[in-house]
């Protein structure tokens, strides 16, 4: 698996990282058992993945074999929009579980970072103390995405996590600006997100479908209506073009490989709920995909 630098940092990431193990609507369909999560982590490391995302709760299932100091294995922590006074405890708790001295990539919501001077100062202090190696802003919300596409990364950060996939390409300008300014880029929603399962997403004729179709197809139903402005552009589009002749549903690895072709992308974070999903996403397995996506 290809290795890429995370911007101007000394972090050397594989082109695919392991997301928070929340794929394919675990909250609705049920979490895989702890032993399966252990298998996922170990198989990911065996396949060459060296970036593991944490902060969703599943990090308690990271096997002991992957914990502790390792110059070639990295962990990111999603802290979201924390209270500045609580940030160090959040970081310390994560480090205690991982048995490490520093978080490799701390992820903070863009709006929280921009609006909270105390939080910015606390992050700077944690970096100076050696507890955080790199700062990555989460560009999840519409305004944060638009700001990235318009003016690129913030100068005092190390990188961003942005939405970018085969049908949602508007972040290419921001990604290019990041590459030129030496900033890292992590990708989320490479498979369209968890709003629709993969099979429904790629089989839908989006030329005649609308936002109401998304509500009908989504496992979360009406509860996603408030997020339709975000969801619809991510899932709607010609996903079926990724299929090869004779395929009803393309492998998820094709969508991930498409994102990886962008030289400005440092790594694509992909969440999985089974070893089979992981092997399909990495291109190891050539079996037909089942419903889901991340």
- Please compute the mean of the pLDDT values over residues 129-142 and round it to a whole number: 95
In this predicted structure, the answer to whether residue 286 has a pLDDT above a threshold of 70 is no
In this predicted structure, the answer to whether residue 5 has a pLDDT above a threshold of 80 is yes
pLDDT in tens, 47-66: 999 999 998 888 888 999 99
Helix (H) or strand (E) holding 107: strand 103-109
Burial 204-241 (b: 16+ CB within 10 A, else e): bebeeeeeebbbebbbbeeebeebbebbbebbbbebbe
- Please compute the mean of the pLDDT values over residues 103-107 and round it to a whole number: 98
In this predicted structure, the answer to whether residue 293 has a pLDDT above a threshold of 80 is no
State the pLDDT at residue 105.
98
State the pLDDT at residue 294.
44
State the pLDDT at residue 28.
56
Banded pLDDT at 190 (limits 50, 70, 90): very high
Closest CA to 94 of 109, 110, 105: 105
- Please compute the mean of the pLDDT values over residues 188-204 and round it to a whole number: 89
Tell me if 107 sits within 8 A of 77, measured CB to CB.
yes
Closest CA to 119 of 135, 141, 95: 135
Q: Distances from the Cα of 54 to the Cαs of 34, 59, 90, 93, 230, in angstroms? A: 16, 6, 12, 12, 24
Beta bridge partners of 134: 105
Q: Is 5 helix (H, G, I), strand (E, B) or coil?
A: strand
- Please compute the mean of the pLDDT values over residues 167-187 and round it to a whole number: 96
Banded pLDDT at 287 (limits 50, 70, 90): very low
State the pLDDT at residue 291.
36
In this predicted structure, the answer to whether residue 189 has a pLDDT above a threshold of 50 is yes
pLDDT in tens, 14-37: 999 998 765 544 455 567 788 888
In this predicted structure, the answer to whether residue 264 has a pLDDT above a threshold of 60 is yes
Beta strands 12-14 and 3-5 are: antiparallel
Banded pLDDT at 262 (limits 50, 70, 90): very high
- Please compute the mean of the pLDDT values over residues 207-226 and round it to a whole number: 89
pLDDT in tens, 110-119: 999 999 999 9
In this predicted structure, the answer to whether residue 83 has a pLDDT above a threshold of 60 is yes
pLDDT in tens, 218-250: 887 898 898 898 899 999 999 999 999 988 999
In this predicted structure, the answer to whether residue 284 has a pLDDT above a threshold of 70 is yes
Q: DSSP letters along 258-290, please?
A: HHHTSTT--EEEE--SSHHHHHHHTTS--SPP-
Banded pLDDT at 292 (limits 50, 70, 90): very low
Tell me if 246 sits within 8 A of 232, measured CB to CB.
no
Enumerate domains of the chain plus CATH numbers.
3-194+251-281 (3.20.20.100)
For tokens 């010609």, the residue is 238
């Amino acid at each position: 698996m290809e290795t890429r630098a995370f911007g101007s940092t000394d972090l050397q990431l594989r082109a695919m990282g392991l997301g928070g193990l929340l794929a394919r609507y675990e909250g609705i369909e049920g979490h895989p058992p702890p032993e399966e999560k252990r298998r996922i982590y170990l198989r990911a490391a065996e396949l060459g993945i060296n970036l593991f995302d944490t902060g969703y709760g599943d990090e308690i299932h990271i096997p002991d074999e992957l914990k502790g100091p390792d110059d070639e294995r990295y962990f990111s922590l999603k802290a979201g929009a924390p209270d500045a006074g609580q940030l160090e405890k959040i970081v310390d708790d994560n480090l205690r579980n991982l048995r490490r001295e520093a978080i490799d990539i701390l992820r903070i919501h863009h709006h929280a970072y921009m609006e909270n001077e105390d939080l910015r100062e606390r992050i700077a202090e944690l970096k100076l103390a050696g507890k955080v190696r790199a700062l990555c802003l989460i560009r999840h919300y519409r305004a944060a995405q638009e700001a990235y596409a318009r003016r690129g990364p913030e100068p005092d950060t190390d990188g961003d996590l942005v939405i970018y996939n085969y049908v949602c390409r508007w972040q290419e300008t921001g990604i290019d600006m990041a590459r030129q300014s030496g900033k890292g880029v992590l990708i989320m929603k490479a498979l369209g997100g968890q709003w629709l399962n993969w099979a429904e997403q790629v089989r839908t004729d989006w030329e005649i479908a609308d936002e109401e179709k998304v509500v009908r197809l989504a496992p979360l139903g009406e509860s996603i209506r408030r997020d339709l402005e975000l969801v619809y552009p991510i899932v709607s589009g010609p996903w079926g073009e990724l299929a090869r002749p004779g395929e009803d549903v393309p492998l998820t690895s094709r969508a991930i490989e498409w994102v990886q072709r962008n030289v400005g992308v440092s790594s694509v974070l992909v969440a999985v709920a089974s070893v089979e999903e992981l092997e399909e996403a990495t291109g190891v397995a050539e079996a037909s995909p089942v419903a889901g996506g991340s």
